[in-house]
Amino acid sequence: MDWIFEARWSPYAAGIGIGVLSWFTFLLSNKPIGCSTAFARTSGMFVRIFRGKKIDEMPYYKQFSPSIDWEWMLVLGVVLGGFISARISGDFSIQVVPAMWAASFGSAPFPRILTALAGGIFLGFGARWSGGCTSGHGISGTLQLAISSWIAAVCFFIGGIASAFIIFKVIG
């Protein structure tokens, strides 16, 4: 049972685990694994605080109502699952600046958090523009052989690889 406490598994073991998990989400919940819609719903909940009932007239929130659903609970579960796994693996650590970032841009927290904010804005915006993320399109959509998901997944990596090279080889 030592494998439960290992800090890292083979990426293939983790991937096969996610694949088998998706069998059960389809079977028991009739749903593919996805994460980015939960963020859209949550942002809608915040908008509702400020704009009240006006939100119900916004076309986007008519499609994705700002409420807690299966996928929202899934994302919440990922936080807990990540925490449990990190704790039992002895890998939990409070860390602001990742090592690779620090090696190129220094260990000051503020620039990293600000960059994460900017990156998050692009990520959240792009995920809703394309209709999914690395889980919803990249894994769940491609495994259903959906054309939209194969195009989106390839573009995630084209955009990501180009941007990573600019950030670390040109700027950094």
Partner 1 sequence: MLNVIHTKKGLQLFLGFLFGILFGIFLHKGGATKYDVIVGQLLLIDFTVVKIMLSAVITGMIGIFAMKSFGWVELHPKPGSWGSSAIGGLIFGIGFATLGYCPGTIAGAVGNGYIDAATGGIVGILIGAGLFAAIYPRLMNGILRKGDFGDITIPKLIKVPECIIVPIVATFLVFILLALESKGM
Footprint (CB under 8 A) of partner 1, residues 64-93: 68-86, 89, 91-93
Q: Report the nearest approach of partner 1 to the CB of residue 84 (Å).
A: 7
Query: Of 66, 18, 22, which is closest to residue 41 (Cα–Cα)?
Result: 66
Q: Which residue in 1, 11, 49, 170 binds partner 1 (CB under 8 A)?
A: 11
Query: Of 59, 61, 17, 34, which is closest to residue 152 (Cα–Cα)?
Result: 34
Q: Is 129 exposed, middle or buried (0-12, 13-18, 19+ CB in 10 A)?
A: exposed
Q: Report the nearest approach of partner 1 to the CB of residue 61 (Å).
A: 6
Q: Which residue in 2, 9, 107, 108 binds partner 1 (CB under 8 A)?
A: 9
Read off the amino acid at residue 57: E
DSSP 168: I
Q: Which residue in 1, 28, 49, 170 binds partner 1 (CB under 8 A)?
A: 28
Q: Which residue in 54, 56, 90, 96 binds partner 1 (CB under 8 A)?
A: 96
Give the HSE-up count for residue 136: Cα atoms under 13 Å, Cβ half-sphere. Answer: 18
Q: Which residue in 1, 2, 22, 56 binds partner 1 (CB under 8 A)?
A: 22
Is 108 a binder of partner 1 (CB under 8 A)? no
Number of Cβ within 10 Å of residue 34's Cβ equals 24
Binding characters for partner 1, 153-172, by CB under 8 A (x = yes): xxxxxxxxxxxxx-xx----
Q: Which residue in 65, 107, 108, 122 binds partner 1 (CB under 8 A)?
A: 122
Query: Of 116, 115, 148, which is closest to residue 129 (Cα–Cα)?
Result: 148
Binding characters for partner 1, 132-151, by CB under 8 A (x = yes): xxxxxxxxxxxxxxxxxxxx
Q: Which residue in 1, 27, 49, 170 binds partner 1 (CB under 8 A)?
A: 27
For the segment 36-65, give every residue that binds partner 1 (CB under 8 A): 36, 38-40, 42-44, 46-47, 58-61
**Cα dihedral 149, 156, 73, 25 sign:** positive
**Cα dihedral 54, 57, 60, 65 sign:** positive
